Structure 1
Amino acid sequence: MMNGEEKWVVGIDIGGTAIKLAFIRPQGEMIYKWEIETNHLNHGEEIPNCIAKEIEKKRLELGLIKGKILAVGAGAPGSVDVVTGIVNEAINLRWSHRYPLQQKLEDACQLPVVIDNDANCAALGEMWQGAGISSRNLVFVTIGTGIGSGIIINGHIVHGAGGAAGEIGHVTVIPVGGALCNCGKMGCLETVASATGIVRQATALVSEASASDDGLSTLYKQNGVFSARDIFELAKTGDYKANTVVQTSLSHLGIALANVANTLNPETIVIGGGVSRAGDFLLSQLNLIFHQHAFQSVKETTVLTLASKGNDAGVLGAAWLAKQQYM
C-alpha cells in the first residue's frame, strides 16, 4: 500500500463527548480517521486505556506492522503543562488537579507521546494544513459552547508561564453587571459571544417581551428553546431581536479580536467552532467591527478568515506536534 520505511503518527483530540483519532502521514495526509465515545468511568481514568486499545485495534485492522506508528500527539481541554505532560484540570473529562496525561498515554500505548491544549492543537492544524497554511503568526479562535483560542508566534505555540496563554474567552468585556462565567469571573467574553452566551441573551430578550410576534419570540413560543444557529439564521432575514443579539455579541467579539491583533499583529486570525458555521454573514459583520478598532498597520496586515479543517484541525495539530518532536 505504501513505502514500508515511512512512519505514521497518531493525532488525537480528546473531548468531553467524543475522542477523535487519526493515522496521519508526515506530510499531513490523513490516512484513516475515526472517533469513539469518551469514557467517563472512574473519574476519566479509563480514557488513556481506551485510546491505546483503539489504536491497536485499528493497527491490526489495517494490517500495519507494530513499528509503523512512530508517536502520538494528543490535544486535551484545559491548561496543559507541556514540559511535564500534565493537564492541570479538565472538568468535562472528570480529571482532577494535575492529571499526568502524557505519562498515562505512554504507559498505555507503549509509544512516545506529546500533548498540548486542544485549541492550541487546532491552531497548529489550521497553520499546517488549513486556513492559515501560509502564516507563521496566527491566532485561532474557536467559538462553541465556550470560547477557546491558540496563539502561534513565529511558528510556535505561546503557552505562557502556566500553560494558560490564549484564554481570549475570559477577557473581561462587561466589567460591571456582567453574567457569571463558568470560570468563576463575571462579564467574560464567553458569556456574550459563545453559543451559550448568544442563547442566554436571546432568551432574556424574548422573556422580557413575550407578547411580541417577531420571529425570535415566535420561535421561542413554539419550541421553548432555540440554538445559536437559529438566532443567526433569523438575523440573516432581518429579524430585529435576533439582529440585536448578534450585533451585541459580535461587537464584543470584534473589539476583543482587534485588541488581540493590536497586541500581537498576527498575519491571520482564524475563526472556528460551531458558531463559525454562520459563515460569510458572521465574517462580514466581524470584519466591520474589527476594522473600526484595529490599529492602522494591523488593519493592513492582519486578515480574519474562517477555519477550513473543521473537526479535523485538532487531530492534525496534535499529529504535527508528534511529527515535530519525534521525526
Structure 2
Amino acid sequence: MFIRKKESEKDVTRLTLLALDVGGSAVKHGIWHEDELIEKDSFPTPLTRKLFYEAINDLIEANQDTYQFSGIALSCPGDTDETTGMVNGFSYVPFLHLGEFQQEFSDAVDLPVSMLNDANSAALAEMTMGIGVGHQEAVFLIIGSGVGLAVVKGGDITTEGSDKIDQLDKLVADGVKTFNNSKVSPVHIARRVSLKKLKLPSAIDGKDVFQLADEGDPVATKEVASMYSSLAEIVISINGAFKPELIGIGGGISNNKDLLPSLKKAVAELLKDQSGLLTIFKNLFYNQEDLPQPNIQLCQFKNDANLLGAVIHFQKTK
C-alpha cells in the first residue's frame, strides 16, 4: 500500500505517523511506517478531550520503544479548519467542537497534528490510490455513527464552504443526509434492534444486526430492509444532484459482503417506480426524464480509507 511521490519531493513517505480516525463509537488507529499502515486497532471513543489526550499518549508510550513518531494524522467528523484549529459544526464526538482543538491536541501529545474531515479523508485516499483514480467527478458516502459526505469536482475534494458546490445541490445532499441519517447508520439501527428486543442499547452491534437478519429475525430483517431502502434513496438523490461518475460507499458498513448486491437491488426497485420523492428529483434534475442508474462502488480501502487519507493529508501539509 504505497503513496507515490515525485523525485523532487521531500521523502515524507518515510515518516512514521500515528494515524487516527475518531468516530462516534470508536477511535480507530494505525501506524504508518515504511509506506505501510500497520498495528491497526481501536478503542471506545472517550467522552472528554482530557481522556482522549490520555488515551493517545498511552498509545504513543506503548509504541515508543519500537517507533519514533513524526506526527499525528487525524481523521474526524465535523468541518475541520486548519487555519483556526477548529472543528466546526456538530457530530457524535462533542469534545471536538469545544473551541480550538488542533494546537491543543498537538501540545498535549508534543507532536505536530494534521486534521481532515473523515469523509474527505476517505475520498482523498480513494481518489489518490483507490476506486477514484482516473475520475474527475465523484461522491463518497462514509457511513458509521453518522453519514459523512465528500464531493469531488474536477478532481478536487470540495469543502463545506466551497462555491464549487451549487447551493441547490448542497441543499439536496444535506437534506437527504440529515433525514436518512438514523435509518442508514448501523450504530443507530443496532440500538433500535436492541431496544425492540428489550435489551440494553449496547447489547447488539451493527454486525449482529446483519447476522440476525440473515437468520430470519423479524425485527432485524425489517430494520435492514428499511436501511437499504433509505440508502438507495440517498444514492439516487445524490446521483441526480451531482451526476458523478461514481458513488463510493465506505465506513464500517462497507465490510458487509451483502451490501453492494443488496443496495443495487434496492436502487433498481426504486428506479422502476420513480414515484414520491424521486418524482421531485426527476423534475429538478432531469426534466421528467427517467433517473439514471448510479455507478455504485465500495471503497477499496474500506475501514482503512479514513486512516490512509489522513496520512496523505499530513504528507501534503506538514
Q: For each residue in 1:222-270, what CA deviation from the matched residue of structure 2 results, as whole angstroms up to 9, or x when unmatched?
A: 9999766566557668888876654544333223222212222222211
Q: Counterpart in 2 of 1:191?
A: 182
Which structure has the larger Rg? 1
Task: Tell me if the contact between 2:74 and 2:116 (Cα under 8 Å) persists in the aligned partners.
Answer: yes
Deviates most, 316-325 or 226-235: 226-235
One-letter code of the match for 2:259? G
The alignment's TM-score, normalised by the length of structure 2, stands at: 0.68
Q: For each residue in 1:175-232, what CA deviation from the matched residue of structure 2 results, as whole angstroms up to 9, or x when unmatched?
A: xxxxxxxx7xxxx11233333665688799xx8xxxxxxxxxxxx5999997665665
- Give RMSD over aligned pairs: 4.3
One-letter code of the match for 2:235? L
Structure 2 counterparts to residues 60-209 of structure 1, below 5 A = 60-64=64-68, 69-88=69-88, 92-95=92-95, 97-161=97-161, 171-172=175-176, 188-195=179-186, 198=189
Matched, 1:323 2:279: no
Task: Tell me if the contact between 1:12 and 1:73 (Cα under 8 Å) persists in the aligned partners.
Answer: yes
In the aligned structure 2, how far is the partner of 1:71 from the partner of 1:223? 39
Structure 1 residues 258 and 63 mapped into 2: Cα distance closer, same or farther (>3 Å)? Answer: closer
Shift of 1:13: 0.9
Q: Counterpart in 2 of 1:33?
A: 40
In the aligned structure 2, how far is the partner of 1:223 from the partner of 1:56? 35
One-letter code of the match for 2:234? A
Q: For each residue in 1:112-152, what CA deviation from the matched residue of structure 2 results, as whole angstroms up to 9, or x when unmatched?
A: 32212222222323333444344443322133443222223
Q: Counterpart in 1 of 2:56?
A: 51
Shift of 1:318: 0.7
Aligned length: 286
Matched position secondary structure for 2:148? strand
In the aligned structure 2, how far is the partner of 1:5 from the partner of 1:320? 9
Q: For each residue in 1:34-63, what CA deviation from the matched residue of structure 2 results, as whole angstroms up to 9, or x when unmatched?
A: 4445443xx3234235424533542x3215
Shift of 1:159: 1.7
Task: Tell me if the contact between 2:146 and 2:181 (Cα under 8 Å) persists in the aligned partners.
Answer: yes
Structure 1 residues 242 and 120 mapped into 2: Cα distance closer, same or farther (>3 Å)? Answer: same
In the aligned structure 2, how far is the partner of 1:110 from the partner of 1:96? 18
Match of 1:10 among 18, 25, 43: 18
In the aligned structure 2, how far is the partner of 1:221 from the partner of 1:281? 31
Deviates most, 100-109 or 132-141: 132-141
Q: For each residue in 1:16-36, what CA deviation from the matched residue of structure 2 results, as whole angstroms up to 9, or x when unmatched?
A: 44322323258x522443444
Query: Which sections of structure 2, spanning at least 5 residues, go unmatched?
Result: 1-10, 275-281
Match of 1:314 among 306, 309, 314: 306
Q: Counterpart in 2 of 1:262?
A: 240
Q: Counterpart in 2 of 1:24?
A: 32
Matched position secondary structure for 1:24? strand
In the aligned structure 1, how far is the partner of 2:12 from the partner of 2:315? 17
One-letter code of the match for 2:175? V
Shift of 1:279: 2.8
In the aligned structure 1, how far is the partner of 2:188 from the partner of 2:22? 24
In the aligned structure 1, how far is the partner of 2:36 from the partner of 2:96? 35
Task: Tell me if the contact between 2:26 and 2:45 (Cα under 8 Å) persists in the aligned partners.
Answer: yes
The alignment's TM-score, normalised by the length of structure 1, stands at: 0.67
In the aligned structure 1, how far is the partner of 2:120 from the partner of 2:143? 14
Matched position secondary structure for 2:229? helix
Matched, 1:279 2:259: yes
Structure 1 residues 117 and 234 mapped into 2: Cα distance closer, same or farther (>3 Å)? Answer: same
Structure 1 residues 249 and 169 mapped into 2: Cα distance closer, same or farther (>3 Å)? Answer: farther
Q: Counterpart in 2 of 1:213?
A: none
Structure 1 residues 144 and 11 mapped into 2: Cα distance closer, same or farther (>3 Å)? Answer: closer
